[in-house]
Chains A and B, each alone.
Chain A
């Protein structure tokens, strides 16, 4: 039965009236934020304030902080587009998955990683590869309580595979043109919580891959497109507006800048092609990364990429071994701008678009894979249906099937 849209008309009108009443105007708060950003030109004062919130009697600050001296940059500074290196190798990975389904007698899951290599400055056909991995052994598809792995666990497995494959590819291509940029389509502060099966092992693998990428002297970067939920710098600006007493007593969120995001701020502050200062996220997770080695703390900057038609703000995560290398940051900055100007109006890195295209497992692909699994069952267990019959599932299937016309 189709949705009865006539019953939704009144509700939609009400929704429209509510939208009309909502206040989307953040310009007053934005002006305050911009003033505070330009006023925050004293790195010593910011370091003092960050030291203060890192003391045990103050807790809960989850905002931005400058890098340690001598690599720190004034948070109010913006950086013009540098010139791009004449040659570079740019790798990108992305992944997708099929989650396990208990209805199969032998549940399986699939992770697929798409890898794309672009040779900047050379007329060379890019390299592409897909790396599908089917996991079906009960020991690997079920947890210790014999339950099928959760979707969160599969997501974590996919993430570790993505970064692992990026590390392997970077190592194999280490002799190619330098700089070697390894681009990942997400933030780099991966964290597997305790509800993820094998979380300790997954974190160990993830950090192992970071080491691999470091060993191959890659410029690793995590590309976070349109990070509307990110308020790291806004929180820092709020922190800098508080007195010492207020820092100890108040909640260290966005305060009077609530509702404003870093994207709003840097959309106003950055010109097309510019980047913000390098900063780090002050959080227990990042501290844990730093404790594994100073090179593995995750820094970030914002960048306003442009296609010439349209601009977009992205947050670029990068490990400290990259952040401390001025030339590497400049190369990354320039190459990202070039990548974002490559696909017409859409300001997004071409390599990531292609990696996503390679990685995605469509519903048609999934149906085809299921057909192939059924064939294996027929060959090896001809008397048994690979799917446990579900009256509910079958009922849904027949009721939702396409209607047919009577034709003569």
Chain B
């Protein structure tokens, strides 16, 4: 999980608010760092000591009329694919929902919206295992996800929980983490049993 800064880079911030941010990258750089539900972080504006932490909730591939035309072709040859993906730099946009922030100096975590959004062009990195384990020790960020109207909140929370569970090496620890998360969701969604049942089904250990 841990690698060099370059290996962890998800993209750079395009636009941001305290609620979340969008970052862009080249389509040929997209890999498992850009998974739905992945934990990412970016420094907030004018303060490298605080990192906004968020979840990827959408990955969008932009098009233009030339791409539209190429889709209509019977077959797109390999050189054109390379040209479109490497030269034309069809941009990809990754949307992130903020779920908290952390102080880089001591690793302290706050499960609330960051005080300021990241600046445009700030580097967005995938969170390391250690950061994810520390961040998910408590489940206070769940309401931020469940109450986010603009995202597929149930699936996002489930994906984030599964993503976080993979950071536990020990199977027993992973099971206990999932149970802890299930209980926290049950408290949050006690008023909506249908929704609760759906989210619990999504995170049920295999």
Could you tell me which A residues sit within 8 Å of B by CB distance?
A: 118-119, 122-126, 128, 307-309, 341-346, 350, 353-354, 357
Contact = CB atoms under 8 A, between A and B. Distances in A.
B121 interface: no
A344 B71 contact: yes
Contacts of A124: 79, 82
A123 B69 CA distance: 21
A309 B88 CA distance: 25
B87 interface: yes
A343 B78 contact: no
B197 interface: no
Nearest to B76: A342
B201 to A, nearest CB: 42
B72 A344 contact: yes
Nearest to A119: B79
A17 B82 CA distance: 51
Contacts, number: 46
A122 B66 CA distance: 22
B83 A126 contact: yes
Contacts of A353: 66
B61 interface: no
B172 interface: no
A40 B77 CA distance: 42
Interface string B59-90: 00000001011111110011110110011100
B73 A118 contact: no
Nearest to A351: B83
Contact of B77 (A128, A307, A342, A344): A342
A260 to B, nearest CB: 31
A350 B68 CA distance: 14
Contact of B87 (A122, A125, A344): A125
Interface of B: 66, 68-74, 77-80, 82-83, 86-88
A344 B73 contact: yes
A115 to B, nearest CB: 12
Nearest to A307: B73
Contact of A343 (B70, B79, B82): B70
Contact of B69 (A126, A345, A357): A345
Contacts of A344: 68-73
Given A125-B87, A126-B87, A353-B66, A342 B80 contact: yes
A307 B70 CA distance: 11
A257 B88 CA distance: 46
A122 B82 CA distance: 12
A357 B86 CA distance: 15
8 contacts: A123-B82, A125-B83, A308-B74, A341-B73, A342-B70, A346-B69, A354-B83, A357-B88
Contacts of A128: 83, 87
B73 A125 contact: no
Given A128-B87, A341-B73, 5 more contacts: A122-B79, A307-B73, A343-B73, A345-B72, A353-B66
B63 to A, nearest CB: 12
B80 A350 contact: yes
Nearest to A127: B87
B79 A118 contact: yes
A343 B82 CA distance: 14
Nearest to A353: B66
B79 to A, nearest CB: 6
A126 B69 CA distance: 19
Contacts of A125: 79, 82-83, 86-87
A142 to B, nearest CB: 38
B65 to A, nearest CB: 9
Nearest to A348: B69
Nearest to A358: B87
A160 to B, nearest CB: 27
B72 A309 contact: yes
A341 B72 CA distance: 11
Contacts of B82: 123-126
A119 B80 CA distance: 10
- In the A-B complex, the 4 residue pairs with the smallest Cβ-Cβ separation, listed nearest first, are A344-B69, A344-B72, A125-B82, A123-B78
B82 to A, nearest CB: 4
A118 B83 CA distance: 9
Looking at A119, A124, A344, A346, the one whose CB has the most chain B CB atoms below 10 A away is A344
A194 B22 CA distance: 55
Contacts of B79: 118-119, 122-126
Contacts of A346: 69
A350 B69 CA distance: 11
Q: Which of A309, A341, A354 has the most CB of B within 10 A?
A: A354
A355 B87 CA distance: 12
Contacts of B73: 307, 341-344
Contacts of A118: 79, 83
B148 to A, nearest CB: 27
Contacts of B74: 308
Contacts of B87: 125-126, 128
Contacts of B66: 343, 353, 357
A343 B83 contact: no
A402 B88 CA distance: 32
Contacts of B72: 309, 344-345
- Which interface residue of B66, B68, B77, B79 has the most chain A CB atoms within 10 A? B79
A272 to B, nearest CB: 15
Contacts of A307: 73
Contacts of B69: 343-346
Contacts of B88: 357
A122 B77 CA distance: 10
Contacts of A354: 83
